[in-house]
Amino acid sequence: MSSLYTFGIGVGTKNARGEWLEVYYPAPLVNLDPEMSKVMRSVFSDLGSDIEPSPEQLSSLVSALESNNFKELAGVIKTLQTTDKCIVAVLQDKNLSPKTVPQGYLKLHLLSHRLVKPHQTDISGIFGVLKNIAWTSFGAIDIEELPERMLESRLSGKPLIIDCVDKFPKMVDYVVPKGIRIADTSRVRLGAYVGEGTTVMHEGFINFNAGTEGPNMVEGRISAGVFCGSGSDIGGGASIMGTLSGGGTEVISLGRQCLLGANSGSGISLGDRCTIEAGLYVTGGTIITVLDDNKNDVRKAKARELSGQSDLLFRRNSVTGAVECLTNLSAIELNSELHS
């Protein structure tokens, strides 16, 4: 079996029609050990599809894992054996797109556990797979079943609190990666990759299949598909253009030690040590006046021609209004104590 396979066994929620709403995987795995692959094959005959294991299969899997010294995963499954909730096991090639809710949630867990980086696993079509769900103080509830559940909770004297209605839950309800700070946890979705040492302030936002290498400061928006190198700072109100809206297909990334000033934005990729001044949004079609080191006008170019280059400073000339680009002489440095 290919080492590209991923595996997860977890517990989830179904609606009244028996359809999966969400799944929590406590210990997902990627690039399976060949010996572990043999164990899976010895217990499950229908690998490659979602498996709802019987108690007998779970017991057999624990015994096989323990005898092959995979004690950590065996311990997780022992804990799962104590519940009467719905259990599912998924084994899937990470280069195949998800076709079911359990497969989609495994992909999202892999990203937030930092087992794969954005774009290292295929999540195409995940919007069509996942359901809109009411995320509540009583867990995930199917939208069609919500009115009845709200009435029941009121009559029981325990009103149901709805945090949001969305396809994606917040990350920290499923995964809390090591060494991060998030001021408002609702603003980081499951499937975000949040590198160690990253601080996400109250207005910061990180979408799924996007994130930070760490350490980073995030006070603005990191849209789906965007990945930011270590030491970069996304200033308050700043935004990085993603690929979900507007038909965009280009994958945007920021290199290391970049700075997006407050209320600025980027629709192009930046290399290392780049800065976009506060209030300036640079899109691919923005006409840029390129200056030499003596600040002389060299040429005009569309911003996309500069995409991915390092050591650039983008600014707006306060007299002429022209957007200028010159060599960035002062790369930022994050406060090491703040991000430790």
What CA–CA distance (Å, rounded) separates 136 from 146? Answer: 10
5-125 matches 171-327 in fold: no
Q: Which CATH number fits domain 171-327: 3.40.630.10, 2.160.10.10, 3.30.70.100, 2.60.40.10?
A: 2.160.10.10
Question: How much is the pLDDT for 193?
Answer: 98
Question: How much is the pLDDT for 338?
Answer: 67
Question: How much is the pLDDT for 186?
Answer: 96
Domain parsing of the chain, residue ranges: 5-125, 136-166, 171-327
Question: How much is the pLDDT for 331?
Answer: 73
Question: How much is the pLDDT for 337?
Answer: 64
Question: How much is the pLDDT for 1?
Answer: 43
Low-confidence ranges of the chain (pLDDT < 70): 1-3, 45-48, 243-249, 337-340
Tokens 């640079």 found at: 282
Question: How much is the pLDDT for 46?
Answer: 64
The architecture (CATH level 2) of 5-125 comes to: 2-Layer Sandwich (3.30)
Question: How much is the pLDDT for 153?
Answer: 95
The model's pLDDT over 238-272, given as tens digits with 9 standing for 90+, comes to 999 986 554 456 789 999 999 999 999 999 999 99
| Catalytic site residue from 213, 219, 277, 324 | 219
The verdict on whether 219 is a catalytic residue reads yes
Instruction: Give the global pTM.
Output: 0.93
Question: How much is the pLDDT for 141?
Answer: 98
